[in-house]
Amino acid sequence: MGRQEYTGIPGWARALAAVAAVLVVLPLLAMVLRVDWTHFVPLVTSEPALTALGLSLRTSAASTVLCIVLGVPLALVLARDSFRLQGLLRSLVLLPLVLPPVVGGIALLYTFGRQGLLGRTLDVLGLQIAFSTTAVVLAQAFVALPFLVVSLEGALRTSGFRYEAVAATLGARPGTVFRRVTLPLVLPGLASGAILSFARSLGEFGATLTFAGSLQGVTRTLPLEIYLQRETDPDAAVALSLVLVAVAVAVVALAYRRPAARAGAGEQPTTTAAPAGGNAA
Amino acid sequence: MTLSYEAVVAGRGFDVALTVRPGETVALMGPNGAGKSTLLSSIAGLLRPDSGRAELNGRLLFDLGRESGAGEHTWLPPHQRGTALLAQEPLLFPHLSAADNVAFGPRSAGTGKRAAADLALHWLGEVGVADLAARRPAELSGGQAQRVAVARALAADPGLLLLDEPLAALDIHSAPLLRRLFRRVLAGRQAIIVTHDVLDALMLADRVVILEDGKIAEEGPTREVLERPRSRFAAGLAGLNFVPGILEGAGVRTGQGLRVSGNDEEAGQLPAPGSPGVAVFPPSAVSVFLDDAFPDHAHGSPRNSFAVTITDLEPHGDQVRVRAGGLAADITPAASADLALAPGMAVHFVVKAAAVSVYGT
C-alpha cells in the first residue's frame, strides 16, 4: 500500500480527483451542517417518519429478495448460456440503469395499471397492483434488478465453468452443481449485488411516485416522505435525509468491504468481489 | 466392462474409433491440437460430437446418428456417465475442505453424510494425505492438491477414469511421487491418460494410442510402439530418427529419392517392395563428417551417407545433438569442437545400414 512504487498518476489527475471528491462530499456536508440537532431525535422518530422508514425497509427487503430470486437465474443464463438475441436481452435488462425512473414508473403503470397491458386481466382476478405496496416493491425491483444481474454476471464469467464440469463428471446433477459449486463460488458477487440492489431500492423515488403514488403507510417510502416534508417542514426533511444517508453509507461500506479471510484466498479468481456498474441511489 | 467409442467432430477434423478393454490403461499421446482433449471431453459428456456412438460397460453414453436416425439420438448427461475427469490443475472446489472435496462424489450419488465422510477419509488415506483432510485447497501445495484431486476422482467410483495430463503442472519434486501413486491406483483400473511424457506411458499404461490431426496415427503396446514407431510423433517420443518412404529391398526410398539402406535381418518379414515403410535409427548411431571421402568400402559394411546442412546444435545429456535435414546425430562435445560445427555448415551424416531398422507401416 505504500508510496514506494511508481504509480504513473499525473498531477492534474490528482487535482481533478480532489474536485470530484468535493463534488460528492460537499453537498452532504452542507446538509449535515443544516441539521437541527436539538430537535433531531423527535423529528426522525415522528409517527409519519417511522412509518415511512419501516415501509422503506420492508419494501426494499422484499424487492431485494425478488431481485435475487429472478436475477440469479437471469445472470446465469446471460453469463453461461448462448442463444439468439442474448446480446439484445442483456442490453434491455440493463436499460433501467440509464432510464429516468419516472419513465420506468410510467411503463409499469401501462403494464400493471388498471388500464394497462396486464392490468385488466389482473383486475378480473381481483388483483389491483397499481398504488399498492406491491407496486412499490415492483417499482423498486424494476430499477434495482440490473445492479444484481451486472454484478453477478461478472462474477459468473470470471469463475468460468471448469469447476462445474468437474462436479458434473463426479456425478452431480445440474441442481446439485448449482447449489454446491456455482453459488458458493460467486457468493461474494451475489452478496455485493444484493446489497447494491437493496440500496437502490431504498433510494427509489421516481418510479414509486408514478406507479405507486404517495399513500401514508401504504406506498409513502422514506424518499417520498422527505420530498413531502421539504415543502412543509424543511428541518424534518433534512433530518430524515441524514437518516437515509447513514443507511446508504452503511450499505455501501458493507458491499465494498474487503472480502475477509473467510472468503478464503482460494485459487479461483472470483474472491475479489468487484461490483460492476455505477453507484446506487 | 469395456469402452467402445467412435465419434466425428467435423469442425475439428476429429474422427476416432477406440476401444478400452476391462482393467486396461491407455496412454493417449500426440502433438498439441491433435484432439486428445476432444476425445476425453466427448467421453465425459462435456463436448457433443457431430456423430458417433460410445458405450461404457454395456451402458450407452451417446448415439448420435448421421442425419438419418432422426429422433434416435441418445446423449447421456455427464453426471450419469461414471467417467471422472482429472485435469492438469487439481480444480479442487476452493470453498470446501479436502475431505469435503473428496466426499463430493459420494454425496452427489446419494451417500449419507457420515458414510461419505468415512469414504473421503479412506481415499485420502489411499493417496497418503489423510492428515490434510481439514485443509482448504488454498492451504495445499500443488502436489498435495493433485493427490486430493486423485482421491476425489477415485471416491466417485468411476467406471472409467479420464486423466488429462495429470502430472504436467507439477514441479519436479512432486511429479515422481504422483507417478508412483498413479502406478498403484491405475493397476487393474480402466483409464485413459493423456500425457506428453514417454515415461508416463511406459510406467502407467498398457497400451499407447498416438493421435495426430484428429486421427489415430498408431496404437499398440507401449514398448512395441516405442521400439518400432510407425509415426513421426512416436519416433520423436522414442528419440529416434524417422524416415518414411517406400520399401525397396532392405531399405526405404523417400519422396525426395533418397535411399536409406537398412538391416538385412528385418528383410525376411518385410512386406512387398513398393509398400509404405519407414527407416528408423537412433541419433547415437549417426556419425558426422565434413566430407564424403570416408573409406567405407574398405570395411565392406554398407553405410548410408546423407549430405545435410546443420540447423541446430544443442546439448543432449553429455553429448551434443546435431540437427540437420530433419535428422539428428549425437556426438561428443570433443568431436563437435574438432569439426568446428556450426549451424549453416554442410556436413555428412553417416550411419551403418546395420543400425537402421526398416519395416512396413
pLDDT in tens, B51-68: 999 999 889 999 987 655
Q: Is residue A197 part of a domain?
A: yes
Q: How far apart are CA A105 and CA B97, in angstroms?
A: 48
Same domain, B96 and B160: yes
Q: Cβ contact (<8 Å) for B83 and A169?
A: yes
- Cβ separation of A170 and B45 shorter than 8 Å? no
Residues B217 and B350 in one domain: no
Question: Is 90 exceeded by the pLDDT of residue A167?
Answer: yes
Looking up residue B121, the CATH number of its domain turns out to be: 3.40.50.300
Which chain B residues have a beta carbon less than 8 Å from that of A181? 93
Contact A165/B105, CB-based, under 8 Å?
Answer: no
Residue B300 reports pLDDT greater than 90: no
Is residue B15 a part of any domain in this protein? yes
Q: What's the confidence (pLDDT) of residue A258? A: 57
Q: Is B316 exposed, middle or buried (0-12, 13-18, 19+ CB in 10 A)?
A: middle
Question: Same domain for B245 and B217?
Answer: no
Which residues in B111-136 are b (16+ Cβ under 10 Å) and which e?
beeeebbebbbebbebbebbebbebb
State the residue range of the domain holding B46.
3-227
Secondary structure class of A31 (helix, strand, coil): helix
Query: Which of B79, B91, B92 has the CB atom closest to A172's CB atom?
Result: B79
Give the per-residue pLDDT at B265.
57
- Residues B164 and B99 occupy one common structural domain: yes
Q: Are residues B85 and B204 in the same domain?
A: yes
Mean pLDDT over residues B73-77, rounded? Answer: 90
**CA A271 → CA A53, A191, A274, B124, distances in Å?**
34, 12, 9, 27
Instruction: Answer whether residue B233 is part of any domain.
Output: no
Does the pLDDT value for residue B329 go beyond 70?
A: yes
| Count of structural domains, chain A | 1
Q: Are B28 and B154 found together in one domain?
A: yes
Is position B220 within any domain? Answer: yes
Residues in B touching A187 (Cβ below 8 Å): 95
Chain A residues within 8 A of B119 when measuring between CB atoms: none
d(CA A208, CA A135): 7
Per-residue cell: A272:
475479489
The helix-helix angle for A222-232 and A47-80 (nearest 10°) equals 140
Residue of A169, A178, A181 best to disrupt the B interface, most CBs of B under 10 A: A169
For residue A273, tell me if it sits in a domain. no
* Distance of alpha carbon A106 from the chain centroid: 20
Structure confidence by residue, pLDDT tens digits, B211-233:
999 999 999 998 889 888 999 99
Q: Are residues B245 and B195 in the same domain?
A: no
Q: Is the ipTM of this complex over 0.90?
A: no
- A117 neighbors A199 (Cβ within 8 angstroms): no
Q: Would you say B26 and B205 are in contact if contact means Cβ atoms under 8 Å apart?
A: yes
Binning pLDDT at 50, 70 and 90, where does residue A126 land? confident
Last residue of a domain, one of B227, B250, B284: B227
How many domains does chain B divide into? 2
Domain that holds residue A208: 39-263
Q: Reply yes or no on whether the pLDDT at A265 is more than 80.
A: no
Last residue of a domain, one of B227, B252, B270: B227
| Res. A206: pLDDT tops 90 | yes
Which phi and psi angles does B267 have, rounded to 5°?
-60, -35
The region of weakest confidence among A139-148, A248-257, B144-153, B222-231 is: A248-257
Contact between A74 and A93 (Cβ < 8 Å): yes
- Label the pairing between strands B276-281 and B357-360: antiparallel
Which of B46, B95, B136 faces A184 most closely, judged by CB atoms? Answer: B95
In this structure, are B64 and B23 located in the same domain? yes
Q: How crowded is residue A94: how many other Cβ atoms within 10 Å of its Cβ?
A: 17
Residue A134 lies in a domain: yes
In a domain, B232, yes or no: no
Tens-digit pLDDT profile for residues A230-261: 999 989 999 999 999 988 888 878 777 755 43
- Within 8 A of A188 by CB-CB distance, chain B residues are none
In a shared domain, residues B277 and B213: no
Burial of B257 (0-12, 13-18, 19+ CB in 10 A): exposed
E strand or H helix that includes residue A106: helix A101-112
Domain boundary among B200, B227, B254: B227
Instruction: Please report the number of interchain residue pairs, chain A to chain B, with beta-carbon separation below 8 angstroms.
Output: 82
b/e per residue B1-30 (b: at least 16 CB within 10 A)? eebebebbbeebebbbebebeeebbbbbbb
**Chain A nearest-CA residue for B150:** A170
Is the same domain home to B27 and B134? yes
In a domain, B355, yes or no: yes
Residues of B with CB under 8 A from a CB of A: 44-46, 77-85, 87, 89, 91-95, 104-105, 108-109, 136-138, 152-153, 156, 158, 162
Residue B193 has pLDDT above 90, yes or no: yes
Mean per-residue pLDDT for A223-228?
94
Range with the poorest average pLDDT among A170-179, A265-274, B53-62: A265-274
- Same domain? B86 vs B41: yes
- Total Cβ atoms within 10 A of residue B212: 18
In a shared domain, residues B157 and B84: yes
Task: Catalogue the long-range contacts made by A74-80 (C-beta closer than 8 Å, 24 or more residues apart).
Answer: A74/A145, A74/A149, A75/A148, A75/A149, A75/A152, A75/A153, A75/A156, A76/A156, A76/A178, A76/A182, A78/A149, A78/A153, A79/A152, A79/A153, A79/A156, A79/A157, A80/A156, A80/A161
- Mean pLDDT of the region A67-85: 93
Q: Inform me whether the C-beta atom of residue A265 falls under 8 Å from chain B C-beta atoms.
A: yes
Residue A274 lies in a domain: no
Q: Please indicate if any CB of chain B lies within 8 Å of the CB of A40.
A: no
List the CATH number of the domain containing A211. 1.10.3720.10
Which amino acid is it at A82?
A: S
Q: For residue B90, how many C-alpha atoms fall within 13 Å in the half-sphere facing its CB? A: 26
A268/B153 CB distance under 8 A: no
Instruction: Kindly report the CATH number assigned to the domain that includes residue B261.
Output: 2.40.50.100
Residue A93 is assigned to a structural domain of this protein: yes
